[in-house]
A and B are shown apart, each in its own frame.
Chain A
């Protein structure tokens, strides 16, 4: 709540916190009211949705792969989504005609890597290889994106914007377009939460309780693709959010995946909003790309997780 308020009150523009506050309570100047309701409010909502989607996606992936480092950004799911968007731009789609569908298809393709790794025997127990495979995938997709940018300089500006990640200036229409997928994903999460918790006890235990691990994995993969695709359509590929959010949530909830998922609901939006507020303030009157801020916040968390030595315990 506090961060939501901060997000509405602080920005790179000349509208001060006090002015913004009076705008919120209904008697601000027209400029302040405009900035707050038309610029900061949509941005705040978009950042919150992005955080929610990425946080949940991260928690699901980590639980499914039993790897606390599994994160849409690190595993290449976000990169797959970003690459698809870049390709669409190159093929002539302008950002306004761009639908979330492209991003979600890309995320699904990115999930292919995750599916492949969970299928490969023994790899689920080797977090490092999973992360490296994701990093390699991301590197490959970024290189291909760079190639496209070199081939078509006109598209380069737009693509460059997409691959750094930002929530500024996006119309609420994008949010509306992603809403159905997010609702669908949330429903799926409610359905798989219990079996997933059972799977945490081991596949045999899950089978014994009458669940089908294969089917659950399939559902989770779809859910993650929906969530990450929506998030990328909203804000571009943001790295580390899916790592940080479940990490914080788990600190409060303990190992139970159901509690963790619940806690991700407030924590995810808070983290991305916080990062967005920082991105507005540090470089005023311009803004720093949100993706850069999340990387700067997330990498130390990654290091902390590695340092804590609790890693293989999930």
Chain B
């Protein structure tokens, strides 16, 4: 960041502070460079007010005890995702995932902005005028993406130690759940599919998706049966006629609307679905689509692990 704009940011921040009648943290001494998608960003101390433009960034910020003051709504909701609601508290909404309301970001008076890679250059430039913007440069859809992202955002917040602590805790929790899976489910029956049930039918989620990688971490084999084409790393709609191709032992059924049990009932009423092996074995697990198909970050990992644990505990050893 060049001399001129950092001067601008400093001026802006003092204006904001004056407006707020509060004092922002002013540890000007240790300025560090945070590598991000649009080049390194200078940040000093522990930024006080954090605006997150990405669900994973909100999750990571709260996980390392940062002070998140603004967030985007979850996909298909009108607020932040349910699993994180209690921790986020009464947080200001600054837009939808695909549409940031820049004025709302200004109104939230951030000291730092955390964003996802999908943000474009033009928006990045505008946001940079408000506060330093850290855009994640971590490739999505890799097994350890959430760890690398947590470390990146934690560095931006000056809370690296907290991040390492959180990651260690989660590793331990993963081993715990993995041991449970090992004990309860024979190796040959640990195949699973992740499906989002939409009113018009199923949407198969990709193997590389965040929640799928956690299923894999605890010992499940997740398959999308090559239904999700290359270049479309998220999901693929599926004709009901092709449902039989996802005949795994376990089906994790995510829904964005209604509550899970009701959606599960609706799915069971669909004759194509009722034929699946997992349905016959009663191993279809209704899970929140907000958590399983949209969220990411350390808190989401813990919540997903809880879901897996309770599903596996229900089986007979």
Contacts and interface: CB of A to CB of B under 8 A. Distances in A.
Interface of A: 11-15, 31, 34-35, 38-40, 94-96, 152-158, 161, 166, 168-169, 171, 280, 284-287
B200 interface: yes
Contact of A152 (B78, B200, B227, B275): B78
Given A39-B271, A96-B266, A152-B78, A157 B240 contact: no
Given A38-B272, A39-B271, A169-B201, A157 B76 contact: yes
Contacts of A152: 78
B242 A12 contact: yes
A35 B241 CA distance: 6
B271 A11 contact: no
Nearest to B203: A286
Q: What are the nearest 10 A-B pairs in CB distance?
A: A13-B241, A12-B239, A38-B271, A158-B199, A154-B257, A161-B200, A286-B237, A161-B199, A11-B241, A13-B242
A12 B240 CA distance: 9
B193 to A, nearest CB: 15
B226 to A, nearest CB: 10
A168 B199 contact: no
B86 interface: no
A93 to B, nearest CB: 12
B262 A94 contact: yes
Contacts of A31: 244
B76 A156 contact: yes
Given A94-B262, A154-B257, A155-B257, A168 B240 contact: yes
B240 A169 contact: yes
B228 to A, nearest CB: 11
Contact of B200 (A96, A155, A166, A285): A166
Max chain A Cβ within 10 angstroms of own Cβ: one of B76, B241, B269, B275: B241
Contacts of B272: 34-35, 38-39, 169
A153 B238 CA distance: 22
B58 to A, nearest CB: 17
B192 to A, nearest CB: 20
Contacts of A38: 271-272
A250 to B, nearest CB: 34
A281 to B, nearest CB: 10
Contact of B76 (A153, A169, A171, A285): A153
Contacts of B78: 152-154
B258 interface: yes
B175 interface: no
30 contacts: A12-B239, A12-B242, A13-B241, A13-B242, A13-B244, A14-B241, A14-B242, A14-B245, A15-B241, A34-B271, A35-B241, A35-B244, A39-B272, A94-B266, A95-B199, A96-B266, A96-B269, A153-B73, A153-B78, A154-B78, A157-B256, A157-B257, A169-B201, A171-B269, A280-B239, A280-B241, A285-B239, A285-B242, A286-B237, A286-B239
Contacts of A285: 227, 236, 238-239, 242
Contacts of A40: 241
B255 to A, nearest CB: 9
Contacts of A154: 76-78, 256-257
B240 A158 contact: no
Given A154-B78, A155-B257, A169-B270, A161 B241 contact: no
Interface in B267-298: 269-272, 275
Considering residues B236, B244, B245, which has the most beta carbons from chain A within 10 angstroms of its beta carbon? B244
